[in-house]
A and B are shown apart, each in its own frame.
Chain A
Amino acid sequence: MGFNQTKDPSGVTVVQVEGQLIVGNRQELKELVQSALDGGERRILIDFSRTGYIDSSGLGALVSISKRIREMGGELRLSGLNEDLRSLFELTKLDTLFAIAETPQQALASF
Chain B
Amino acid sequence: MPSPLRLTVRRSPTPDSDGLATLVTLRVPSDVACIEEAVDLVTRHCLAGQRAWERSRFRLQVVLSEALSNAVMRGNCEDCGKWVDVRAELFPDIIRLFVTDEGPGFDPSAVPEPIRPEQLDEAGGRGLYLIRKLVDAVQFNEQGNSICMILRRP
Q: Which residues A14-30 have CB closer than 8 A to chain B?
A: 19-20, 22-24
Counting contact residues on chain B (CB < 8 A from A), the size range is: 20 to 34
Task: Provide the bound-state CA to CA distance between A59 and B64, in Å.
Answer: 16
Given contacts A53-B65, A92-B114, A92-B129, contact A1 B121 (CB under 8 A): no
Task: Provide the bound-state CA to CA distance between A68 and B122, in Å.
Answer: 12
Contact of B69 among A53, A55, A64, A92 (CB under 8 A): A55
Apart from A60-B124, A67-B121, A88-B130, 8 more pairs, CB < 8 Å: A22-B35, A22-B65, A23-B35, A24-B36, A55-B66, A56-B124, A56-B127, A97-B120
Return 22 A-B CB contacts under 8 Å, by A number. A19-B36, A23-B35, A24-B33, A52-B61, A53-B58, A53-B61, A53-B65, A55-B69, A56-B66, A56-B125, A56-B130, A60-B122, A61-B123, A63-B120, A84-B58, A84-B59, A88-B62, A91-B129, A91-B130, A91-B134, A92-B114, A94-B120
